[in-house]
Structures are given as C-alpha cells and as structure tokens.
C-alpha cells in the first residue's frame, strides 16, 4: 500500500462500499487509519477526513469504555466492601438471634411440658364428659323416638276420630234438617206446626254450622281436606247465597246489596267450599253490622276472581287484622257475648281459601266498616248440557238410590219423590246390581261410602256404573272429598261426580237440568 497508494485506495473503496463510515464498529478502527493515510496520499482529502473522523469516534468510544469499566470496577470493589460489612453484621445478628432462640426454646419447653400435663388432665376430663354426653344423647334419642311414635299414634287416632265423627255428626244432622225441610214443604200441616218446625230447622242449622266449622278446623290442621274440581255455575251459586243472606239481613233491618253483573258463569272448582268461604264472610258481615248495609260484589281480574263482602258495621282495629283469622279469637271480650259465635268462621274461610290457591284480604277500621276480598284462580269451564239425561224428563224417570245409611236414605227419597216418577232405594251394591238387572231404571245415584266394604272400592263402583250403562241408566256418584279422591272416581266411568253435601235441588238439576228446583233446599246426606 505504501508503494502503490492508488491500488490501496481502490481496495479500500471496495471494503467500504455501501458502508456508512459514521456508524462503523470499533473493529474497523485500523481500517479507518489505513484509509485516512491512503486517501491523503492520493489527494482524496475529503475521504481521508471522513475516515479520520470515524477513527477519532472509535478512539473516543474506546476511551469512554475504558473509563466506564474503571468506574464499574471501583464501584464493584466498594460494593464488595459494603457486602463484607453487611455479612459480618448479619453474622453478628444471627449469633444474637440464636442466643435468644435458645432462651425462648428453654422457656417454651417448660411451658409445653406444663401444657402437656394440663392437657392430659383436660383430655381425660373431656373424654369422661363426651362419654357422658353421648350417653345422654342416646337416651334423648330413645325418648324422642318414643315421643314421635306416641305423636304419630295420637295423630292417627285424631285422624280416625275425625273420619268417624265427621260422618257420625253430619249424617244425623243432615237427616234432621232434611226431614224438617220435607215437613215444611208439606202444605197439609197447620201453620203453628210449621212455625215450630222452622224454629227446629234454624236451631239445627246453627248446630250444623258449628259442627262443620269445628270439624273443618281439625281437618285443616291435619291436612286431610280434599277439594272437588267440577264445573259449576258461579253466578247461580252466588245468587243463591245472596238470596239466603238477603233474608238474614232483612231480619235485622239491614240493607243488602249485590253486584253480580261482572261475575263469570261456569267455572271449575269446589262449589261447596267456595260457598262455605263466602257464607262465613257474609255471616260475619251480617253478625257485626248493627245497622246499615251489607253487600256482595264479584268481578273477574285477569286470571283471578275477586269476591268482595263489605259492611258498614263496627269495624276492626288495625292491630287486630291478623288476629281475627286466628282460631277462637274475638276482637274484644264482650264481642262473643254481644254477637255470639266461637270465632272459627274466619279461620276456616282463610284456610279453605289457601287450600284452593286463593287468599283473603282485609280492609277495616273502627266505625268505618269492613271489606273482605276473597281472591281465587279463575278456571273457566264449558257450560253443562241443558238437555234431560237419557232423553227422559226427571218427572217421567225412575231413580235408584244406593245409600247404606237409613236416615240419609229416607231424607233423599222424600226429597226426590215429588220430582221423579219413581224413587227406589237399596242399602248395598249387591242389591243395586240385582235391581239394575230387572231393568226400568233411568238414573242410578250411588253414595261412594256404599263401596267402602269392598276389597277395591273404586273397582266396585266401576263395575256398578258399567252394569247401569248396560241397563240403559246413567250413574251419579255422591262422594265426600275428605274420603274419596275425585281423580280416582273419574276412572269409574260415572256420568257425573257430585261432592257432598249436595242439596236435593242441585242433585235434581244434575240429573235433569230442565226441572225447576223447589223454593226450599233439602240436603242429600
């Protein structure tokens, strides 16, 4: 290169072709030095100056790196000295901690020994107590099982008692009331005798209401209440109730209003229980209204029916609103003496409403009267056929009644005789089969209780309904919802199911709807 600078410059041009000399790495420092000398010799001073600047940049960077390295080494040495001091201090602290730990261990060892000794004593005491408690729990469980068994027996005895008394009380009462109603319908009796019969009937109705309320309370407490679900005319039912309580209001010189214009017609439900709830509300309104007005109003509200019973009576304080629905509760001690009653009507009404997926709301204040709003689901149904059953009018029909109770049998026969061409009665299913085999029966009326002695009551009723159908007769089954499930009875093939108690006019209307009901109602037991 010293002998031929031009050739050296040409080689350097190739080396640095496309290279930015302002950013070359330190490794090209010697190349920059050679290029500076070669370009100076051939007179390319600008290129020589550029490579000289690059050489200076690389030398400056190397000097700075050396300086930084020296500083870093000094810092590292200083840091190493500090670390050595820290290590020495940590070792001293560690020695001190070990000494303190040794003292603490000695203290804890003594404490632990004490705790172990005390714990052993407590453990022994605890084991004794646990064993004693376990024995007490076992004894308590034995007592509890015995109590539960006794309670179950008591509940069964109560249920059996209710099942018996419900029939034994209601049947004779219905018989007494039925016979008095039959006698009251006898126009040949003198007026004086009819008046005494009316008094007897009123007393019997009061006793019947009391007995039914007490039995219903007991049934509701045990969850034994069953509900019927059949189509019935709600407007007609409420009209009948309004007519009855209109008479009761008239005897107290009370105004009685009714608004049934918005009342639905035929719906599905338990007509007897709905009438029972409304009857209790109307009874309460008439009883606690010395003067003024009692009213009954009905309206459909979406998928609900609201039946409102309002009065202008004495009213109920706000703090008594919840209590009036409790059993045997009266607003004050003098209420029972002034108005009578034992205070279970509203309890029965509320519990029956709840059983039917309904509710009763109360609005009242002293001196401002009371409004009870009975709400229940609206289940509309098709109107029943209005044509006479079997194509035979009831007045021309022959009826066969199956009723094991002689008193109830007599009441029902006397109630139906004025409405039909012939009414016969038998006491059991075998006699019913024999009578159907002879023919000439248009309607078979069966008390479901007549099948209870059969091994399979439902099958026995089904067989009887089938025999009636072969004989050309329709079958009506009367049943107590507390004793028979309507769903099960539907499988018997009977033409109709009527939940008891059933008034004679209602029974007649079911058999042949074109027959007008008599003015006075007679119950079929």
Domain 229-377 shares a fold with domain 390-524? no
Which is nearest to 212 in space by CA: 165, 263, 257, 246?
165
Please give the structure tokens belonging to residue 496.
Answer: 């109709």
Interior angle at CA 469, CA 468 and CA 473, nearest 5: 65
Residue 163 pLDDT: 57
Closest CA to 199 of 186, 180, 179: 180
Residue 340: predicted pLDDT: 53
Task: Give the separation between CA 65 and CA 49, rounded to whole angstroms.
Answer: 24
pLDDT on residue 236: 87
Residue whose C-alpha is closest to residue 285's, from 177, 393, 372, 215: 372
Fold of the domain spanning 390-524:
Rossmann fold (3.40.50)
β-bridge mates for residue 475, sequence order: 444
At 162 the pLDDT is: 62
Distances (CA, A) of 10 to 22, 187, 200: 20, 154, 148
List, as one string, the DSSP characters of 433-467.
HHHHHH---SEEEEEGGGGTTSSSHHHHHHHHHHH
| E strand segments, 250-367 | 255-262, 266-269, 293-301, 304-311, 359-364
Q: What is the pLDDT of residue 514?
A: 39
The domain made up of 229-377 has a fold known as Heat Shock Protein 90 (3.30.565)
pLDDT tens by residue, 13-67: 777 777 787 788 877 778 878 888 888 888 888 878 887 888 888 887 877 777 7
- How far is Cα 110 from Cα 449, in angstroms, rounded to an integer? 86
Sign of the torsion angle spanned by Cα atoms 120, 121, 123, 128:
positive
Which pLDDT tens digit goes with each residue over 401-456? 999 888 788 888 888 888 888 999 998 999 999 998 888 899 999 988 888 888 88
pLDDT along the chain (525 residues), means of 10: 72 79 78 82 82 81 74 66 73 80 78 78 81 84 84 71 65 75 75 81 75 71 71 86 89 91 87 89 90 92 90 86 74 51 77 90 88 90 52 81 86 84 90 89 90 87 91 87 69 81 77 46 41
Q: How many CB atoms lie within 10 A of CB 158?
A: 14
How many residues in total does the chain contain?
525
Q: Which residue from 360, 367, 359 is spatially nearest to 331, judged by alpha carbons?
A: 367
Helix (H, G, I), strand (E, B) or coil at 477: strand
Task: For residue 84, give both structure tokens.
Answer: 């050595």
Each domain of the chain, given as residue ranges in start order, spans 5-93, 229-377, 390-524
Q: What is the pLDDT of residue 160?
A: 64
């Amino acid at each position: 290169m010293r002998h031929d600078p031009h050739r050296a410059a040409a080689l350097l041009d190739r080396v640095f072709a496309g290279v930015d000399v302002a950013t070359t790495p330190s490794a090209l420092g010697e190349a920059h030095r050679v290029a500076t000398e070669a370009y100076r010799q051939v007179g390319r001073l600008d290129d020589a100056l550029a490579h000289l600047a690059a050489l200076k940049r690389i030398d400056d960077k190397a000097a700075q790196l050396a300086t930084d390295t020296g500083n870093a080494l000094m810092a590292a040495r200083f840091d190493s000295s500090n670390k050595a001091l820290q290590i020495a201090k940590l070792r001293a602290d560690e020695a001190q901690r070990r000494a303190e730990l040794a003292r603490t261990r000695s203290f804890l060892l003594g404490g632990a020994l004490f705790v172990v000794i005390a714990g052993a004593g407590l453990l022994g005491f605890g084991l004794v107590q646990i064993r004693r408690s376990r024995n007490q729990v076992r004894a308590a469980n034995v007592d509890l099982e015995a109590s539960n068994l006794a309670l179950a027996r008591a509940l069964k005895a109560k249920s059996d008692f209710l099942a018996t008394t419900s029939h034994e009380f209601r049947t004779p009462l219905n018989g007494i009331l039925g016979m008095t109603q039959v006698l009251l319908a006898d126009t040949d009796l003198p007026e004086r005798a009819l008046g005494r019969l009316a008094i007897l009937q009123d007393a019997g109705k009061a006793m019947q209401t009391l007995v039914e309320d007490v039995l219903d309370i007991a049934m509701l407490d045990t969850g034994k209440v069953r509900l019927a679900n059949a189509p019935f005319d709600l407007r007609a039912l409420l009209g009948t109730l309004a007519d009855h309580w209109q008479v009761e209001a008239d005897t107290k010189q009370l105004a009685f209003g009714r608004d049934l214009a918005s009342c639905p017609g035929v719906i599905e439900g338990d007509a007897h229980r709905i009438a029972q709830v409304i009857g209790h509300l109307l009874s309460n309104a008439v009883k606690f209204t010395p003067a003024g007005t009692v009213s009954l109003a009905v309206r459909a509200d979406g998928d609900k029916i609201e039946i409102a019973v309002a009065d202008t009576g004495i009213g109920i304080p706000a703090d008594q609103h919840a209590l009036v629905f409790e059993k045997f509760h009266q607003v004050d001690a003098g209420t029972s003496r002034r108005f009578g009653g034992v205070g279970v009507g509203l309890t029965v009404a509320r519990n029956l409403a709840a059983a039917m997926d309904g509710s009763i709301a109360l609005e009242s204040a002293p001196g401002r009267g009371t409004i009870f709003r009975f709400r229940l689901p609206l289940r509309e149904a098709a109107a029943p056929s209005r044509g006479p059953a079997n194509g035979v009018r009831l007045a021309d029909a022959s009826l066969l009644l199956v009723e094991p109770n002689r008193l109830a049998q007599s009441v029902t026969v006397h109630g139906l005789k004025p409405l039909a061409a012939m009414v016969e009665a038998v006491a059991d299913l075998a006699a019913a089969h024999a009578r159907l085999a002879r023919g000439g029966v248009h309607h078979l009326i069966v008390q479901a209780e007549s099948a209870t002695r059969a091994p399979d009551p439902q099958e026995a009723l089904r067989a009887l309904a089938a025999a009636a159908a072969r004989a050309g007769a329709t079958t009506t089954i009367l049943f107590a919802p507390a004793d028979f499930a309507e769903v099960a009875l539907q499988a018997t093939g009977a033409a109709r199911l009527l939940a008891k108690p059933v008034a004679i006019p209602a029974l007649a209307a079911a058999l042949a709807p074109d027959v007008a009901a008599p003015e006075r109602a007679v119950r079929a037991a």
